[in-house]
């Protein structure tokens, strides 16, 4: 089979299409003929060598796919060859075939393209976990969504809109019309304005109930400062450690050094209690390892069926243009999900 391989750590041109052995199908597994593979910022960090969960190169990464069931292993019920499915993949998604545990597989919603389906396993489950399970978002709450034009940002905006929250979102000015169309009431140009000062101004100093942030760590402390009493901050990434083309070692080291102080140091736990705020950390891959996909995806089924959640695909690239796809995301050009297709 053909697969996109990280041949070594480095800029996008280290990605190569190579022939690889077809993955076996073990008991309890489903083998999927991949029609679209989602690209996430973690993929860029894995390619650059700054994502600790990624396998060492040469390797095939990819965290989510949409496609058709090619075959099933012993003990698998409910799926058969030809079924249209989505899946969370603990790597191996950038390939024509991938085998995953059956609990990481779900039906592709009716009427949804494979490219749209490839946006569901990571983006929408991350957004649901951050907003609902950890963030406890309710109707009338104020939420700040960083990178609101990205894949997770758009998913989070759609979920928050369905809940009835007042949505603040950071994005470059060129993307403000797009995020307004999704439901962001207060777009903030993070390149020209201090987002914390803007939130403080718009809310007349009262702040927001929830912030979800994958940019940090420099932004985390400012996020915490604009939480109102009872507010929650959910941290799920440190994308500032990645430059346009490759890892930024000074930024990475600086970020790691800042992380212990990014929100509330352990010795100030009494201060945290006095301020009535909370901080959560989210690592979706580890959540998948513990519980599979169902707990995070099943609550979204009603919204998907009602058409309230509609993945936005910014661009689709064939495997041979994987380097271009990574560069496209690194340059922050996308509004929505970027995917790879076998051909």
Res 294: pLDDT: 82
Model confidence at 241: pLDDT above 90: no
Q: What mean pLDDT do residues 65-91 have?
A: 96
pLDDT tens digits for 157-200? Answer: 999 999 999 999 999 999 999 999 999 999 999 999 999 999 99
Model confidence at 229: pLDDT above 80: yes
- SS3 string of the chain? CEEEEECCCCCHHHEEEEECCCCCCCCCEEEEEEEEEEECHHHHHHHHCCCCCCCCCCECCCCEEEEEEEEECCCCCCCCCCCEEEEECCCCCCECEEEEEHHHEEECCCCCCHHHHCCHHHHHHHHHHHHHHHCCCCCCCEEEECCCCEHHHHHHHHHHHHHCCEEEEECCHHHHHHHHHHCCCEEECCCCCCHHHHHHHHCCCCCEEEEEECCCCCCHHHHHHCEEEEEEEEECCCHHHECCCCECHHHHHHHHHHHHHCCCCHHHHHHHHHHCCEEEECCHHHHHHHHCCHHHHHHHHHHHHCCCCCCCEEEEEEHHHHHHHHHHHHCCCCCEEEEEECC
Res 265: pLDDT: 53
Domains in the chain (CATH in brackets) are: 2-119+311-341 (3.90.180.10), 122-285 (3.40.50.720)
pLDDT tens digits for 19-51? Answer: 999 999 999 999 999 999 999 989 999 999 988
Is the entire prediction scored with pTM above 0.75? yes
């Amino acid at each position: 089979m053909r697969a996109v391989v990280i041949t070594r750590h480095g800029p996008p041109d280290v990605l190569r299409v190579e022939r690889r052995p077809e993955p076996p199908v073990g008991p309890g597994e489903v083998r999927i003929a991949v029609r679209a593979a989602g690209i996430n910022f973690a993929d860029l960090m894995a390619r650059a060598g700054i994502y600790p969960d990624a396998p060492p190169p040469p390797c095939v990464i990819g965290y989510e796919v949409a496609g058709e069931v090619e075959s099933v292993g012993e003990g698998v019920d409910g799926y058969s060859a030809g079924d249209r499915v989505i899946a969370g993949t603990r790597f191996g998604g950038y390939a024509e075939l991938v085998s995953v545990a059956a609990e990481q597989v779900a039906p592709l919603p009716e009427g949804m393209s494979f490219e749209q389906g490839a946006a569901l396993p990571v983006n929408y489950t991350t957004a649901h976990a951050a907003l609902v399970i950890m963030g406890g978002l309710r109707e009338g709450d104020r939420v700040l969504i960083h990178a609101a034009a990205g894949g997770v940002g758009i998913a989070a905006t759609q979920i928050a809109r369905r809940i009835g929250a007042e949505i603040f979102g950071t994005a470059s000015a060129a993307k403000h019309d797009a995020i307004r169309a999704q439901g962001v009431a207060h777009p903030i140009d993070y390149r020209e304005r201090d987002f914390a000062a803007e939130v403080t101004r718009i809310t007349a100093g009262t702040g927001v109930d929830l912030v979800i942030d994958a940019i940090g760590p420099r932004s985390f402390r400012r996020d915490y400062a604009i939480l109102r009493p009872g507010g929650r901050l959910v941290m799920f990434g440190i994308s500032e450690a990645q430059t346009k083309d490759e890892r930024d070692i000074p930024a990475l080291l600086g970020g790691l050094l800042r992380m212990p102080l990014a929100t509330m140091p352990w010795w100030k736990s009494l201060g945290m209690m006095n301020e009535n705020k909370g901080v959560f950390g989210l690592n979706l891959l580890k959540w998948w390892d513990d519980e599979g996909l169902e707990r995070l995806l099943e609550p979204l089924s009603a919204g998907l069926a009602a058409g309230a959640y509609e993945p936005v695909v910014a661009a689709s690239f064939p495997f041979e243009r994987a380097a271009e796809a990574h560069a496209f995301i690194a340059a922050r050009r996308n509004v929505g999900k970027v995917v790879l297709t076998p051909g």
